[in-house]
Amino acid sequence: MGLSRVVNAAEDSINRRSVVYLRKRGWRPRTIGLAGYGSVRSVHVLGRVIMADPAAEQEDPDATDESAPVSPINVAAEAQRGWRSFFTAQVGFLPVTVRAGDRTLRTTTDRGGYIDVIVRDHGLEPGWHEVEIEAVAAEPVTANVLVVDPNVRTGIVSDIDDTIMVTMLPRVFIAAWNTFVRHTTARKAVPGMATLYHRILEGHPDAPVFYLSTGAWNTVPTLRRFMRKHGYPEGPMLMTDWGPTPTGLFRSGVEHKRTQLRNLLITFPEIRWILVGDDGQHDPVVYDELAREHPRHIAAIAIRELSPAEQVLAHGTPEAIEHPPAMRNAAAEHGVPTVQGRDGNALATLLPDVIAERREALASR
């Protein structure tokens, strides 16, 4: 038996024992609805079921006092609440009923307690909607889903860490920071990025905005507060989960991004995407690979250039670790433009013009 299978089996055993122990203490399953997305034909409904103490106050994730200073006492209190949200006992293989528009679908959570189902022929109109998720022994909850108008032709995919938000911490600590230290004033927004997105939306008001990250789902409430505070447009968040897989000890962040990007292309075949990331990790290569494979589906690539200090924190050296080859890239082979800049303000001087030029070039073919 491979090491990853051993770790998987150990994780499952610990989690089963935790669920049994917590049930004896009066805890019950609790469903968390996550923002999903889809078309007028089908929607992805996302959620998770964990064990929760019914006697504890149901903390409103948006109720944090953002005006309070970030003192050691506040950070400690936030860290304690974050600790509870991060180390959870997930309820795997639990029967779940999903109701979306005209359809009802029955499924089960996966081994990590996650719900990720596609509901077809739901009858929902374009826009944001609520769907109901009802897990056995848990109270029904609602989750938001974005149904994208079939006439939309432009969309935005944005990375999070080092693209719209900087914590100035080593990359290995960012997920823990986002979870344990949840006060949004402890994070710095990248200048001009929110303005850049809103400027794009002025020309394409129905364009969906997706936030694609290798961060854990547990960090979503914190990141939502941060984005609302700094004026980022609302959009589904495509996160991942930590822990072993059947083939490895850790999930691959690169493969997560590749898979989610391809899912978007499959779900929305008529949309041309603006891909926004940074050069602190693998965004330039992942985005370029997608653009080379599907050039007509990519409007442009925008890469935020990290400072040398940020590069060191991201991967240990003062320079970017990966760039597409000079003569084998989407720009050289297919004319897919890539722009680079230190922040959103720099990118805003370049991106709108190249998007317009790209649109004209594709229209003339």
Q: What does the pLDDT look like over 226-242, one tens digit per residue?
A: 999 999 999 999 998 75
Question: Domain limits of the chain?
Answer: 3-147, 154-363
Which pLDDT does position 328 carry in this prediction?
85
DSSP annotation of 271: P
% of the chain at pLDDT higher than 70: 81
Which pLDDT does position 247 carry in this prediction?
44
Contact 241, 216 (CB under 8 A): yes
Side chain identity, residue 25: R
Which pLDDT does position 72 carry in this prediction?
46
Which pLDDT does position 248 carry in this prediction?
44
User: Average model confidence (pLDDT) for the chain?
Assistant: 85
Instruction: With a cut of 70, say whether residue 245 has pLDDT above it.
Output: no
Side chain identity, residue 254: V
DSSP annotation of 239: E
Element (H, E) at 173: helix 171-180
Instruction: With a cut of 60, say whether residue 249 has pLDDT above it.
Output: no
Instruction: With a cut of 70, say whether residue 62 has pLDDT above it.
Output: no
**Of 260, 319, 251, which is closest to residue 286 (Cα–Cα)?**
260
**pLDDT tens digits, 339-349:** 999 999 999 99
Question: Between these two residues, 317 and 201, which has the higher pLDDT value?
Answer: 201
CATH architecture of 154-363: 3-Layer(aba) Sandwich (3.40)
Instruction: With a cut of 50, say whether residue 64 has pLDDT above it.
Output: no
Which pLDDT does position 195 carry in this prediction?
97
**pLDDT tens digits, 259-293:** 999 999 999 999 999 999 999 888 999 999 999 99
Distance of CA 114 to the CA centre of its chain: 15
Please spell the DSSP secondary structure of 137-165, one letter per residue: TS--EEEEEEEPPTT--EEEEE--BTTTE
Q: Which of 10-19, 217-226, 263-272, 288-297 is predicted with the least confidence, judged by mean pLDDT?
A: 10-19
Task: In whole angstroms, give the CA distance from residue 89 to residue 2.
Answer: 25
Q: What band does 217 get if pLDDT is binned at 50, 70 and 90?
A: confident
**CA-based torsion, 86, 92, 96, 101: positive or negative:** positive
**pLDDT tens digits, 103-156:** 999 999 998 899 999 999 999 999 999 999 999 999 999 999 999 999 999 999
Task: In whole angstroms, give the CA distance from residue 314 to residue 162.
Answer: 9
**Tokens representing 305?**
């250039």
In Å, how far are 192, 271, 332, 365 from 356, measured between CA atoms?
A: 20, 15, 18, 15
Average pLDDT of 160-188? 73
Which pLDDT does position 73 carry in this prediction?
43
φ, ψ at 294 (rounded to 5°): -135, 65
**Tokens representing 160?**
């999070």
Instruction: With a cut of 80, say whether residue 183 has pLDDT above it.
Output: no
Instruction: Determine how many CB atoms are found less than 10 A away from the CB of residue 83.
Output: 12
Instruction: With a cut of 80, say whether residue 10 has pLDDT above it.
Output: no
Task: In whole angstroms, give the CA distance from residue 200 to residue 210.
Answer: 14
Exposed, middle or buried by CB within 10 Å (0-12, 13-18, 19+), for 351? buried
Task: In whole angstroms, give the CA distance from residue 113 to residue 48.
Answer: 5
